[in-house]
Amino acid sequence: MSSLKEIKTRIGSTKKTKQITKAMEMVSAAKLNKAQANAEAFQPYTDKIREVVTSIAMGSETASHPMLEDREEVRRTGYIVITSDRGLCGAYNSGLLRETMKRINERHSSPDEYGLIVMGRVGMEFFQKRDMPVMQEITAVPDQPEYNDIKKLASTTVKMFEDEIFDEVYIHYNHFISAISQRVTETKLLPLTAVQGDAEAAEESPETLDYIYEPSADVILEQLLPHYAESLIFGALLDGKASEFGARMSAMRSATDNADSMIDDLTLSYNRARQAEITQEINEIVGGAKAQQ
């Protein structure tokens, strides 16, 4: 059995750890509220630009763009993987990276067939340790990111698709469901086949808006589609940030609860050891008194 001093030291250190985890839980909760608000505020913009692109793609029989068309041969696939810069967020990173590795192993037999664009230090270090082809990376993304923070990475990724370095691009991130629930999500970013699907659905809808635009549809799509793809990347980042803070808040809450349970167990052990020590001292006093009689 541990000595009273050792148990008391463990109780003290556990209480200090509990104070840290409790503070981190509260900080994560505050950041979560703001990150969730940012993601929700950006969604109407994404919906509107999708509506405009869909209307143009539907309204012109001659409108076409390479970003809207599936390529006959997919030589290389790009994966944008959004992780965190720090740990202590439960299975937020491990679940995402496990799913990414699963998809890569299912689809590719050689590193020449894919490339990685990584946001977050955890993901970057994970792939670099395995000598996987990281073609772009960004770390130290702010907790409340602005578009300018990832503009270069987003625009470069879209340009790599236009230059046929990638023939398709997927985004892997954690989709925010609630403060205690996130879902690993894969979304096909390029080509923008979802826009064509929206256009087909819009043709059947009597409420579709008819936009008047100039110059030609091709010129507008040339400018609008890259920006739309970049906005999808930024939207996924905002969604991932909300998921990160939700996961960290839940992880720190569990750590705080575990600290409480450990403190209770250690306190019980301390009281028992103290009682045993007192009993031993009483027995020694009584034994010494009898020996003097």
Task: Decide if 239 contacts 41 (C-beta within 8 A).
Answer: no
Handedness of CA 9, 11, 13, 16 (dihedral sign): negative
> For the chain, what is the largest distance between any 2 Cα atoms, rounded to a whole number of angstroms?
116
- Digit-by-digit pLDDT tens for the chain (293 residues) are 568 888 889 999 999 999 999 999 999 999 999 999 999 999 898 888 888 887 776 655 555 677 888 888 889 999 999 999 998 898 999 999 999 999 999 999 999 999 999 999 999 999 999 999 999 999 999 999 999 999 999 999 999 998 999 999 999 999 999 888 999 999 999 888 766 555 455 455 545 556 666 677 777 778 888 888 899 999 999 999 999 999 999 999 999 999 999 999 999 988 888 888 788 777 777 777 677 66
Q: Which of 229, 236, 71, 62 is nearest to 157 (CA)?
A: 229
Q: Domain locations in the chain?
A: 4-20+251-286, 26-250
Range list of H helices, the chain: 4-59, 92-107, 121-129, 147-162, 193-203, 217-292
Count the Cβ atoms, other than its own, within 10 Å of residue 1: 9
Beta 168-178 vs 134-138: how paired, if at all? Answer: unpaired
Alpha-carbon distance 105 to 112, whole Å? 13
Three-state SS at 247: helix
Tokens of 281: 């001292």
Q: Which residues pair with 80 in a beta bridge?
A: 117, 171
- The fold adopted by the segment(s) 4-20+251-286 is Helix Hairpins (1.10.287)
Q: What is the pTM of this model?
A: 0.85
Task: Decide if 89 contacts 180 (C-beta within 8 A).
Answer: no
Q: Which residue has the tokens 């994404």?
A: 46
CATH numeric code, 26-250:
3.40.1380.10
Q: Which of 63, 59, 45, 60 is nearest to 208 (CA)?
A: 59
